[in-house]
Amino acid sequence: MIQQYFKQAWQLIKQNKLFSGIYIAGTALGISMVMVMAILDYVKTANIYPEMNRERMLYAKSISVAPVDTARFKYTNSGSLSYKAAELFFLSLKTPERVSVMFSGTDFASLPNNDNLIKIKSRQVDTNYWKIFPFRFLSGKPFSDADFQSGLAVAVITESLSKKLFGSDKAAGQSLEYRFKPYRIVGVVKDVSYVMEDTYAQIWMPYTCIENYDKENSERAGMIGDVGKVFLLARSASDFGSIRREVNDKVRRFNASAADWKTDLMGQPDTRKVDAHRYWSNKGPEMKKINIRNILIMFLLLVVPALNLSGMNSTRMERRLSEMGVRKAFGASRSRLVHQVLIENLLLTGLGGFVGLLVSYLIVFFTKEWILDLGKQFTDTLPEGASVDFSISMLFNGKIFLAVLLACLVMNILSALIPVYRSLRKSITDSLHIKYN
């Protein structure tokens, strides 16, 4: 029976090419916008190389400090965490499986005694960083705990930088200069897409080889500094509450003994979804408002086209009233007729969904250099030579196709159910006496 319905639907599409084309285009437009939002959310929060543990990770990157004597001082300061703050509140935690601190920078690299400078993105990390993020090493390996503790000038570089400087991805054992300081290359990793904001770089080295990385600022209790981010890998997501309680206990004890400045982590550490929306150092994101906003946007993107398509469906159903009248006269039940029309409409919305999915990929591809900043309060400058690539796993995955299916289902029900219900409420006599132009 269902197969017959689809055959009938296909014949109707061929007979009404203009209507079908407009219907598919209207469906595709709404669904493509929804899919762009779904793809961006997936890229920012899903487990994607090399950030494969996002579902059990917490993040911290900013801190706010306020004077203890609020009668004299009314202001607060905020900024990135200092190493002192990271060490006090995070590195000493017992609950997480691993904790890692990262600094970031951008400067010039070159071969020794070579004036050809290349501007690259760097990360200064510890050995836990390599255990939290499973990079794919093409040659060599990460720097060791001994290298880190000794503050040796060693580095891991990307495949593309290795090929640019040495002509191959087998650069382990070679040397380069970064910030005019020589580094021995210990490993080469597969390139990381710029969309992976916590791991994208072209070179990584121990932060212990950076001068004054742990220097304590005498102002603001030394809490504000240059740490890029702190990563906390939990044994499972169920440990998030315990980790936050341990962090809050450390903050509470620090503030209880603070002489001049007390600190506030503003709800950190964050899950990946919250961290992706934390843009300011002096306040956290209002996730309830953000979620409501996103739901409303997606709802409007589906409802507005659906209302227009519903009007088109009403007109088409009026033209099919005599057909429905004949079928009811021969014993077809109302539920069977509803099922038939819904299935016919589902074929159209399915085609529109497929076209919308393709359009969403085209939108992401042609706007990839700025679309990741969508929703931010500011725009990041794309580093020179950065690769903004969306891999196959980012675009073609089960969650995205499920989103397409649900969007098509919603569009189908919204645009078809009301016109069908109104048409089938007419009596058999009225339906059989409909005149066509």
Per residue in 217-267, pLDDT tens? 767 788 999 999 999 999 999 999 999 999 999 999 999 988 888 999 999
CA neighbor of 360 nearest in space, from 25, 28, 110: 28
| pLDDT tens by residue, 92-133 | 999 999 999 999 998 999 998 888 888 899 999 999 999 999
Instruction: Locate 35 and state its tokens.
Output: 């899919």
Residues 117 and 163 in one domain: yes
User: By the 8 A CB rule, do 170 and 139 touch?
Assistant: yes
Same domain as 7, residue 104? no
pLDDT digits (tens, 9 = 90+) for 369-378: 676 665 554 4
What is the share, in percent, of the chain residues with pLDDT greater than 70? 77
* pLDDT tens string 171-229: 999 999 999 899 999 999 999 888 888 999 999 999 999 888 888 776 778 899 999 99
State both tokens at 377: 């309060």
Number of helices followed by number of strands (H, E) in the chain: 14, 12
- Supply the pLDDT for residue 21: 81
Give a yes or no: residue 272 inside a domain. Answer: no
Residue 281 domain flag: no
Sheet holding 62-67, edge to edge: 77-80, 62-67, 261-264
Q: Are both 35 and 119 inside the same structural domain?
A: no
Please indicate, yes or no, whether residues 88 and 37 belong to a single structural domain of this protein.
no
Whether residue 437 is contained in a domain is answered as: no
Residues 328 and 416 in one domain: yes
Q: Cα separations (Å) of 159 from 46, 165, 170, 387, 405?
A: 24, 10, 9, 12, 38
Q: What is the pLDDT of residues 389-418, one digit of tens each?
A: 676 667 776 777 777 767 767 766 766 666
Tell whether 26 is covered by a domain: yes
Residues 302 and 164 reside in one and the same domain: no
pLDDT band for position 386 (cuts 50, 70, 90): low
- Residues contacting residue 249 through CB under 8 Å, at least 6 positions apart: none
* Residues 298 and 186 occupy one common structural domain: no
pLDDT tens digits, 317-355: 666 666 666 666 666 666 776 777 777 777 777 888 888
The verdict on residue 52 lying in a domain is no
Within a domain: residue 53? no
With a pLDDT cut of 90, the percent of the chain lying above it is 38
Total domains present in the chain: 2
CB 328 within 8 A of CB 337: yes
The answer on 79 and 12 residing in a single domain is no
pLDDT at residue number 71: 59
pTM to 2 decimals? Answer: 0.82
Average pLDDT over the chain, rounded to whole?
Answer: 82
Q: Which of 198, 160, 159 is nearest to 45 (CA)?
A: 198
d(CA 279, CA 376): 7
pLDDT for position 221: 81
CA distance 436 to 50: 63
User: Which of 267, 299, 326 corresponds to the end of one domain?
Assistant: 267
CB-based contacts of 195: which residues, under 8 Å, 6+ apart? 43, 372, 388, 389, 390, 394
Burial 386-403 (b: 16+ CB within 10 A, else e): bebebeeebbeeeebeeb
Indicate if 139 and 238 belong to the same structural domain. yes
3-state secondary structure (DSSP) of residue 175: strand
Q: Are residue 123 and residue 254 in the same domain, yes or no?
A: yes
Kindly report the length of the chain: 437
Spatial distance between the Cα atoms of 386 and 195, rounded to a whole number of angstroms: 10
Q: Please state, as a whole number, how many other Cβ atoms lie within 10 Å of the Cβ of residue 226.
A: 19
Question: Dihedral of CA 195/400/374/81: which sign?
Answer: negative
Residue whose tokens read 């599409």: 13
Asked whether residue 280 is domain-assigned, the answer is: no
Same domain flag for 263 and 299: no
> How do the residues of the chain divide into helix, strand and coil, expressed in percent and rounded to 5?
50, 15, 35
Nearest Cα to Cα of residue 43 among 269, 291, 272:
272
What residues make up the domain containing 37?
2-47+287-432
Of 267, 300, 318, which closes a domain? 267
Q: DSSP code of 417? A: H
- Beta partners for 370? none
Query: Are 244 and 393 in a shared domain?
Result: no
**Domain-located, residue 32:** yes
pLDDT at 298: 80
